[in-house]
Amino acid sequence: MSESVFDYSQYPYFLEGENRTNIAKRLNTARSSVNKWVSNFLIKCLERLDSKPIQGRPAKLTQANSNSFQLI
């Protein structure tokens, strides 16, 4: 397996909680390759979360109003 190839076979292992060392052993590849894949995967997931529009009605509580509340 080449480091530059994005391999979808790594998905199930990572999503099921398998550690990166074991994923590398199962796929007969370097752990550094798995680390790069996981980093790219996590970055892309975060980018998708940021790009999703916020749903629901807008908040009625403004920043000025929220400053007037105190925690009891």
pLDDT in tens, 31-69: 998 888 888 888 887 777 666 677 788 777 777 777 777
For 10, residues 6+ apart whose C-beta sits below 8 A from its C-beta are 23, 27, 34, 37, 38
Confirm whether 65 is domain-assigned. no
Question: Following CA atoms 34, 36, 40, 46 in sequence, which dihedral angle do they give, to the nearest 10 degrees?
Answer: 90
Q: Residue 29 is part of which domain span?
A: 1-52
CB atoms within 10 A of CB 10: 22
| Closest-CA residue to 35 (of 59, 43, 46) | 43
Reported as a single tens digit per residue, the pLDDT across 3-21 is 444 455 566 888 888 899 9
For the chain, the domain total comes to 1
Residue position matching structure tokens 């007037």: 68
Return the biggest CA–CA distance within the chain.
59
Domain-located, residue 36: yes
Question: What pTM was estimated for this model as a whole?
Answer: 0.52
